[in-house]
Structures are given as C-alpha cells and as structure tokens.
Amino acid sequence: MEFEYKYAGHSGVESDAGSASMSFVPDASREPTFLRASLTRAVEFREAISAMHDVVVQDLRWTPKDREAYKAWRAQQDEYDVDQVLADREETRARIDALYQEMSALWQKEQRRQKAFVDARQRYFDYIYMRDYTAWLILDPVITVHPDEVFFECFSKDESTYARLSAGFECFDEIDELGYGTTNIDYSQGLYDAFQKLRNYKRTRFEVDPGGFTAQTGASAAHREVKIDLPDSWVRGFLQVSSAMGQPAEARFRLHPMDVHNVCHALRRRNEKKGPRALRYELEPGEPVRIVLEPWEQVITCPRSIYSGPRSEVVRTWGRRRLHVLERLIPIARGFDVHLLGDGMPSFYVADLGEMSFTLGLSGWSANDWSRAGAFDLMAPREGVTNRSKRAVYAELKKRWSATPDELAQATKLERAQVLSALGAWAQAGRAVFDLNRSVWRARELSREPLPMDKLRFQSDREEAAWAIQKAKGVSAPAEVVDTDGVRHLAAKVKEDKDTYDTGVSLDRDGRLIGGTCGCNHYIRSKLAKGPCAHMLALRMRLSRNAH
C-alpha cells in the first residue's frame, strides 16, 4: 500500500546556549493540524522521543546466514591438489610481494589525484545519511493534537512493537496557536540526533508548523513529495494494536522503575542459547510481583511492586528483549503500569512520566508480528449495530475528541455494547484508538484517505468457516451460566462437516470474548494466542442479533 505525503521543508531543531526551537513539519495534504507553545519538560520529552526512535528502527527478526558463497569456496578448495599447492607456495609468495609493492605505489598516486573527488563524495554521503537515511525505512510517525494532549504513534520495522508518546498540555506554556487533528510528520535520523541537544535549562519552543522549518534546513517553500510503499501486513498490524488495547487484561499491576531496571540488567548479563525464553510473571494478591527468567529460572522479586489483583495468576510472555526500549525511561519514570492479556498474547507497558506517558505494545513474541499475533478484532464486542449508529458514535467521538463508552452511550442513546461494537469497527478502519493511560477512546485518522478495508480487514479463514457453520445451523442451543462477576459462560456442540466439538466461550459484561475452550486442533495448538477458533466464533454468532 502506497502512502503519499507533502512536506513544506524538513523538521528540525535549532539550539544555542540559552534556547532551543523544535519544529515538526506536518503533511500539508491533510487537515490543518498545528501547535505552537513552549515545552517545559524538555529532558523527559527528549528521552521519550528517543525511545520511540528505538522502536521505529527496531528489527529483531532472525535472519539466517547466507552460506552459499562459503559452500562455493569450499567446493573449489576441495578440487585443489594439495601437493601442487605446497610446491608452488614460494613462487606464489614472491609474485604476491611484487604485486603488492606495485599496487601500493599506484594507490598512493591515485589517492593524491582523486583527493578532491573523495572529499566531495564523503560530504554527499554525510548529507544523505543525515537527511534521508530512514526515509525508505519507516512510515513517518503520526502526531495527533487533542484538547487535552498531544500524542505521537509509531510502529517498528519488524511489525512487532508499537509505541505511543502522549504529552498533556501541562507540559506546555505560552500556547500561541492550536488546531486539533491528526497528521504525519517529517522525520529523519538528523532530527533524532538534534533531539539529544535538548536540556531543561534551555527555553524550548515546540511547534507543529504547516509552514515548514525552513530556517534550519534552508529548504525552499515548495512542497516536497514523499512516497512510501508499505506491505498490507504493516498497516493491518497497526490496526490490530488498536483492537488489542481495547481488550480486558488478564492481569494488571504497577512495577517500580528499579524493578524494570533489574529485569533489563539481568537480560543483558545473560544470553540464552536454547529455550524456553519466556518471562514468567508469578502474581499473588498482596504479595510482591515475582518475575522468573527462563530457562535459568532466575527469580527477580519486586518488593516495591505489590500485586493487588483479585486472584493468583501466572502469565508467560516472550520476545522479552524488546523491553530494552524502556531503559531510557527508567530514570524519569514514576512507575510502569503493566497490562498482560494472557500467555503468549500481547502485553502493554505504560510508563508514567508525570504529565507525559509512554505506551509500549509488544506482540506475543518478536517473530509473531501484530498482523499474525491474533485476530483481536474478532475478540472485540460484536453486538449488532447499524451503519447509522456507527456514524452517530463516530460523530460524537469526533466532537469530543476523547470519551468513555458510557459517555458516548449516554450522548447517542445507544446501549453500551452497541457503542463498543461501533468503536471496534472504527478502530479497524484506523479512525479511533483506545488510550490505555487514561482509559478513553480517541478519534485518530491514521491516513488521509479512507483505508481500503477490503484489503486490510483481517480476512480470517476461521471467520469464513464460522459463517459457514452458522449458515448450516451447526451450533446447538447453547447452555448459559452467568457468574457473580457478570461474565457469561456459554457451552454448545458445534458441528463442522462430520466432526462435532464441545465448545465454550466466556463473554464479559461488554460482550468481549475473554476465554473459551474447544476440542479442535487450532485451540489445542495455540489456545487464544492467535485468536478464537471458528467454532468459538460460530457459537458467538449464534447469540448475535445479526447472525443468519
């Protein structure tokens, strides 16, 4: 999928002994979005935006070594006559010495002749590295200006890590101009390097400026067009993050910054050569959080972090070395709120930076990117809701910019389950996102043009199979039990072709699928780590108003 942007200049930072001016150049082809103010938390912003850069360029996928050249060389060596090689060794050495002396003389002469060209070429490469090194590598970050905060979002190159930096308006003073909306910003390696010069003792000017930062770059006023071609899986993964953040967590707790440091320090001291490579959280109500590093079974007890959940939990997560992104935030963070969705499922770490927050979203493991991590859109509430109701929900959200489901339900006169279903649909369209830090939904347009949902919507074979089962009336009348927490536990026999499975699902008060069981191969192999199986979906459709 191709994205096109138009920038009037380059983003940049100007800095001197007493002040700094930081300007982000937004996409001129999108709705006007701008902010001009003074930033009061320069160091915190510097560390958080640097952590976002670590996410943007991150690629932890394993790449096998290319051994073809070695194999060809090895085959060639095997053909040699060893005795003949030994006999010619002295002659060969003499020829090499003579050629080396001749080449050295020619090289020195050529160096003197081409010095001007080499210097000019180096200056050119330096310019390309500073200005365009990451242009082909990443989708420019998304920035959104809301009435209560400004937030940035980005996605890693390996599609397994999501980051969100939000800065409340308490971080700014002397706000001159403000325009709400979402846009992409021009970003480069040079901008990241310039961020490192920010200091608290300098008065820092923060600008999202549609006019461009021409003073720092010397660019002309003409718009600069940028085209980036991204795989559909990259965009689909970004949408799956929005759906996953709206799911209920199996466990939530707060970690002290020193406890996060201890985990990162332990991971840097050791390098596992074989599995398992999980980070195991052992949680007991009223007790310190215990984190176990496998396969060494090293226990890190967190006396400053007490688990306050209602019941004991043991949750294992993989891809743990991605947590090193949080290391820059440890000195400035007040705490890290951890949201674990379950074994092998995504996890979220929200760093409390005072007036700022940094959200790190990790897929189940590094090689399991967000596009394949799980069909979280299928686990979201699926209450029947009309297109008219969806438009009403989005219009109200756009009007408020951020709201809770209860506030939207009261304003639109819809049931809470219908509102959540509509919000889930808008999240999959890239027009809404859940804010874990403040537990509200926010309006956010991921792209200028509507996304092609026929290409991006998670077209799961399981969902198609579920509709076929439902159409064939393969789901028996479900038995339902409601527990004291209001969770609905449903059980039924689901027939697919000649096989029949005992299937069960658990739905919370908002209609979100939070658990289930089945005898099929998909559930036995991956549980819910890759989304519900077709039989769970068919059972759920049996209850939906629009099932047919």
d(C-alpha 141, C-alpha 406), whole Å: 31
Put the strands of the sheet holding 181-184 in their side by side order: 181-184, 142-145, 149-155, 161-168, 356-362, 347-353, 335-340, 251-255
Q: What are the backbone angles phi and psi of residue 321, rounded to the nearest 5°? A: -70, -10
Tell how strand 488-496 and strand 499-507 pair up: antiparallel
Q: Where are the domains of the chain?
A: 2-61+134-151+163-229, 237-372, 380-456, 461-543
Residue 458: Cβ within 10 Å count: 19
Angstrom distance (rounded) from CA 59 to CA 44: 25
**Distance, CA of 349 to CA of 361 (rounded, Å):** 7
This prediction has a pTM of: 0.73
For residue 214, what is the enclosing H or E element? helix 214-217
pLDDT for the residue 548? 38
CATH dotted code for 237-372: 3.10.150.10
For residue 214, the model assigns a pLDDT of: 36
Q: What is the pLDDT of residue 85?
A: 66
First to last CA, the chain: 34
| Number of alpha carbons in the 13 Å side-chain half-sphere of residue 87 | 5
Closest residue by Cα to residue 364 from 355, 352, 372, 353:
372
> How confident is the model at residue 547, as a pLDDT?
38
Residue 11 · residue 210 · CB < 8 Å = no
Distance CA 68, CA 65 (A): 9
Angle value at C-alpha 504, between 515 and 519, nearest 5 degrees: 100
Could you tell me if 337 and 439 are in contact, meaning their C-beta atoms sit under 8 angstroms apart? no
Q: Do 40 and 150 meet the contact criterion of CB atoms below 8 Å apart?
A: no
Helix (H, G, I), strand (E, B) or coil at 165: strand
DSSP classification of residue 212:
-
CATH classification (class only), 380-456: mainly alpha
pLDDT per residue rounded down to tens, the chain (548 residues): 555 656 666 676 777 777 878 777 776 667 778 788 888 888 899 999 999 888 887 777 666 777 778 788 777 766 666 666 666 777 788 888 888 888 888 888 877 777 776 677 666 555 544 554 444 344 567 889 999 999 999 888 777 889 999 999 888 887 877 888 888 776 667 777 778 888 888 888 888 875 543 333 333 344 455 555 555 666 777 777 877 888 888 899 999 999 999 999 999 998 887 778 889 999 999 999 999 999 999 999 999 999 998 999 999 998 889 999 999 999 999 999 999 988 878 899 999 999 999 999 998 776 655 655 555 555 556 566 788 888 999 999 999 999 999 999 999 999 888 898 888 888 888 889 999 999 999 999 877 666 655 554 444 577 778 878 888 888 998 898 888 888 889 899 999 888 999 999 888 876 778 889 999 998 888 888 777 888 988 888 777 644 33
**Structure confidence at residue 368 (pLDDT):** 59
CA atoms of 412 and 213, how far apart (whole Å): 42
